[in-house]
């Protein structure tokens, strides 16, 4: 996946596994995920908004079909809001303010607010 000037991506193992699985089995969805990542890196504030509990401190971007989202955090924003503990990001110590951490890509589960990974 590509990065843009200004922001650098960090992909969790979970996100990378989802992307690679979609690339093997469902190329159009992998392309939608790639376009979403590129859009987020180009303009991370221009997305589908912040998430609420239990994902407070993270943001979402809908891609492909309307219920499929990318879940991410802007490191500078996470630190400013004091959401490091809630986000549980394993990269926090090494991440810079211009990093964006990509956590999940999946369909929202209605009952639990979790993601079908």
**Residue extents of the structural domains in the chain:** 9-109
From CA 58, how far away is CA 64, in angstroms rounded?
A: 20
Do 95 and 79 touch, CB atoms closer than 8 A? no
What fold, for 9-109?
YaeB-like fold (3.30.2310)
The pLDDT, as a whole number, for residue 26 is 83
| 99-108 and 8-11 strand pairing | parallel
pLDDT tens digits, the chain, 117 residues: what are they?
554 458 999 999 999 998 888 888 888 888 999 999 999 999 998 888 888 877 888 999 999 876 789 999 999 999 998 888 888 888 888 899 999 999 999 887 644 445 443
The pLDDT score that the predictor gives to residue 2 is 52
């Amino acid at each position: 996946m590509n990065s843009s000037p200004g922001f650098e991506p960090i992909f969790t193992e979970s996100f990378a596994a989802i992307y690679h699985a979609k690339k093997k089995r469902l190329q159009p969805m992998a392309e939608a995920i790639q376009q979403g990542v590129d859009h987020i890196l180009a303009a991370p504030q221009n997305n589908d908004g912040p998430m609420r509990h239990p994902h407070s401190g993270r943001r979402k971007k809908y891609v492909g079909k309307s219920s499929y989202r990318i879940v991410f955090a802007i490191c500078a924003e996470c630190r400013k809001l004091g959401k490091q503990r809630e986000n549980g990001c394993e990269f926090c110590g090494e991440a810079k303010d211009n990093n964006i951490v990509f956590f999940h890509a999946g369909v929202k589960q209605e009952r639990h607010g979790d993601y079908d990974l």
